[in-house]
Structure 1
Amino acid sequence: MATPPASKAILGLYASTLRTAKSFSSYNFRTYFVRRTEDTFRGMQAEQDPIKLSQAYSEAVKELSVLRRCAVMNQLYGGGRLAVEEQSDVRTPADT
């Protein structure tokens, strides 16, 4: 029988994955991977079967290494900022 990973290991993996997802320079990729990370780890949190939990954990470790490489490439070749990201710089009539 496979032993499930410790909750501290899962939380550490979650923090690393979320940090990597937030490092994307592209707004669309960043929001997608943050949302996907949260959904993946919510599913892991709800999992009761230790075998499935071990498999999900090992899959998440593999995905983290791929995500790190993709984040580096996105930082190298990322484009400019989108209008969505610059909303905090724009003043509305209600602000005056």
Structure 2
Amino acid sequence: MAASSRTQVLSLYRLMLKESKNFTAYNYRTYAIRRVRDAFRENKHLEDPKTIQAQLIKARENLVIIQRQ
């Protein structure tokens, strides 16, 4: 993974965790945090740039959903 991709992924991960912690309901908050961590761990070993970009787009869409909640 290129350095810029790594930086993008890490900043997106941190932002998603930060936004997930804003849920007021405990169950929603813990579910969102667990889901973000699991999804990033699951895709940790991706090497194909196209696949990485597709997952980044999907994560950004999920971030928008989290922010709307």
The answer to whether TM tops 0.5 is yes
Gaps of 5+ in 1: 71-96
Gaps of 5+ in 2: none
Aligned length: 67
C-alpha separation in 1, matches of 2:26 and 2:41: 23
Moved over 3 A (4+): none
**Higher helix residue share:** 2
| CA deviation map 1:5-55 (0-9, x unaligned) | 610110000000000111101000000000000011112322122111110
Pairing 1:1-96 to 2, within 5 Å after superposition: 6-70=5-69
Normalised to the residue count of structure 1, the TM-score between the two structures is: 0.65
C-alpha separation in 2, matches of 1:14 and 1:44: 12
Considering only CA atoms, is the larger Rg found in Structure 1 or Structure 2? 1
Normalised to the residue count of structure 2, the TM-score between the two structures is: 0.88
